[in-house]
Amino acid sequence: MAHERDALITGIGIASCLGSGIDAHWAALNDFSPVLDTDSFPPFAVHPLAPLDLDQQIPKRGDQRQMEGWQRLGVFTAGLALESAGVKGNTDLLSRMGMIVAAGGGERDCAVDEAILSGYRKAPDPGAYLNEHLLGDLRPTLFLAQLSNLLAGNISIVHGVTGSSRTFMGEEASGADAVRIACARIAARQVDIMLVGGSYNAHRPDFLLLIEMGKLLRRAPFDPVWARQASGGGIILGSLGCFLVIESRAHAAARGAAPYARIAAVRTDRCRRRPGEATANARAQLETMAGQYDPATTAVISGATGAPAATLEEKSFLSDLGLPVRASVTAFGSAAEPQVPASLALAALSIRKGLLFPPLEAAEQTMTAPPKQVLVTSWGHWRGEALALVTEA
């Protein structure tokens, strides 16, 4: 039953290895071949970001220079989302628009890091050496590229979104909670229109280091995520930016916006990841959607990361559901914070197009009927389980 406080997706901005914008993504997903960079970080691969025409969304070169890669990607895709929703440049509306950004940390100056690491042990006074080089070698403005909330800050500056600005942190779960709280605020009339999303630059050795401290990076062969599990699984990171404009049905109708889809439910939870606990969370989440969820016309966009334990458990949970599944990580890599917004974008596109894109690997089944609903899963590579239900608007 349509309700005026339903949360509708009315704008999508996305950029990844598959290209920039929803049309490029839809085309690439319907004629899929993996885009991998195996040269930059051997023996690992990353899904590289497609070239972006930054000037389109960040017209001032000074703004571009003030940001690092993750921020440029985020501000760019936020602009695409606003454009797609037809609200870009609408100063009055943007000053009322709320924003939740899911963010990690920004780029480091890896050359400075490596120089300090190389010199430190030989320094007569290592403490003084570290201080001298941090003070002398770090670019003063780099800090502003590293602070998690400065993606949101740059979106306020470049696009004028200023109604509210909150940044959530915590890998995949932060993206899920960002969407959940945005929808809850809309339902409760705390806000009418929100910009929600995040960005992740995988072309960063510090991120590879973090994941490899958990011994989770995949080595060749770089199979799709389900096939990968037969040989130990593992994570292939990908650069990804995705923002959604989410607004109340009443607000969308009043301005004549055409929605892609409706976010009917978002559930997030956590556990310690003892065997079976994540599955129990997912089952309980699905249970709360009884009455809304109709398996007859439903597909799944999974955010399975490739991390073996969680991915195998999710695979088993999904096979019990028996629905056609597409793993978004096979398409553009594992990307933490923007993973859930991007999976929601693929879900919304599939519903709007009346077509689930073809299987990305042999383990995924075809779906010929138009999907009326899509379940979106996100089990973080370490913690956090989320389930969302996207339906026709």
Partner 1 sequence: MPADTDHLGRPVVVVTGMGVLTSLGQGQADNWKALSNGISGIRRISRFPTEGLRTTIAGTVDFVSVPEPSAPALSERLAELVIDEAVAEAAIGRPGDFPGPLFLALPPVELEWTQRFELAAASGANEAVTYDDLIRAAHNGSFDRYYSRFLFASVGEALADRFGTKGSPVATSTACASGGTAIQLGVEAIRRGETDAALVVGTDSSVNPESLVRFSLLGALSTRNNPPSSASRPFSKDREGFVMAEGAGALVLESLASARARGAKVLGVVEGCGEVADGFHRTRSSPDGKPIIACIRNALADAGLVPDDIDYINAHGTGTPENDKMEWIGVSAVFGERAGSVPLSSNKSMIGHTLTAAGAVEAIFTLLTIRSGLLPPTINYDVPDPALPADCVPNVARPASVRHAISNSFGFGGQNVCVVLGSGE
Question: Which residues, 214 to 253, sit near partner 1 by CB under 8 A?
Answer: 214-217
**Secondary structure class of 10 (helix, strand, coil):** strand
In one-letter notation, the amino acid at residue 332 is F
Q: How far apart are CA 194 and CA 42, in angstroms?
A: 40
Q: Is 213 in the site for partner 1 (CB under 8 A)?
A: yes
Beta carbons of 177 and 268 less than 8 angstroms apart: yes
In one-letter notation, the amino acid at residue 347 is A
User: Among 100-108, 227-235, 313-321, 341-349, which window interacts with partner 1 (CB under 8 A)?
Assistant: 100-108
Burial of 165 (0-12, 13-18, 19+ CB in 10 A): middle
- Residue written as tokens 């924003």? 99
User: Among 77-85, 134-142, 297-305, 315-323, which window interacts with partner 1 (CB under 8 A)?
Assistant: 134-142
- Contact with partner 1 (CB under 8 A): which of 1, 31, 53, 135? 135
Q: Kindly tell me which of 256 and 272 has the beta carbon lying closer to partner 1.
A: 272
Residues 6+ apart with CB under 8 A from 92: none
Q: Is 113 in the site for partner 1 (CB under 8 A)?
A: yes
Q: Is 358 in the site for partner 1 (CB under 8 A)?
A: no
Closest listed residue to residue 102, CA positions, set 241, 207, 205: 241
Q: Is 109 in the site for partner 1 (CB under 8 A)?
A: no
Residues 327-364 as b or e (16 or more Cβ within 10 Å = b) = bbbbbbbbbbbbbbbbbbbbbbbbbbeebbbebbbebb
- Residue written as tokens 């978004």? 328
- Contact with partner 1 (CB under 8 A): which of 5, 166, 283, 372? 166
- Contact with partner 1 (CB under 8 A): which of 143, 220, 276, 320? 143
| Contacting partner 1 within 298-337 (CB under 8 A) | none
- Contact with partner 1 (CB under 8 A): which of 120, 319, 354, 369? 120
Beta carbons of 330 and 33 less than 8 angstroms apart: no
User: Among 29-37, 75-83, 180-188, 294-302, which window interacts with partner 1 (CB under 8 A)?
Assistant: 180-188
Q: Is 5 in the site for partner 1 (CB under 8 A)?
A: no
Q: How far is the CB of 101 from partner 1 (least distance, A)?
A: 10
Q: Is 167 in the site for partner 1 (CB under 8 A)?
A: yes
Q: Tell me how many residues contact partner 1 (CB under 8 A).
A: 82
Supply the DSSP string of 125-158, one letter for each residue: SHHHHHHHHHHHHS-TTHHHHHSTTHHHHHHHHH
| Contacting partner 1 within 370-389 (CB under 8 A) | 380, 382-384, 386
Q: Kindly tell me which of 63 and 392 has the beta carbon lying closer to partner 1.
A: 63
Closest listed residue to residue 236, CA positions, set 250, 249, 220: 220
Q: Is 211 in the site for partner 1 (CB under 8 A)?
A: yes
Q: Is 279 in the site for partner 1 (CB under 8 A)?
A: no
Q: How far is the CB of 237 from partner 1 (least distance, A)?
A: 12
Q: Kindly tell me which of 157 and 363 has the beta carbon lying closer to partner 1.
A: 157
Burial of 44 (0-12, 13-18, 19+ CB in 10 A): buried
Q: How far is the CB of 162 from partner 1 (least distance, A)?
A: 4
| Contacting partner 1 within 36-75 (CB under 8 A) | 41, 66
Query: Where is 285: in which H helix or E strand?
Result: helix 277-287
Beta carbons of 179 and 196 less than 8 angstroms apart: yes
Q: Is 275 in the site for partner 1 (CB under 8 A)?
A: no
- Contact with partner 1 (CB under 8 A): which of 117, 230, 290, 296? 117
Q: Kindly tell me which of 166 and 255 has the beta carbon lying closer to partner 1.
A: 166
Count of CB atoms within 10 A of residue 15's CB? 29
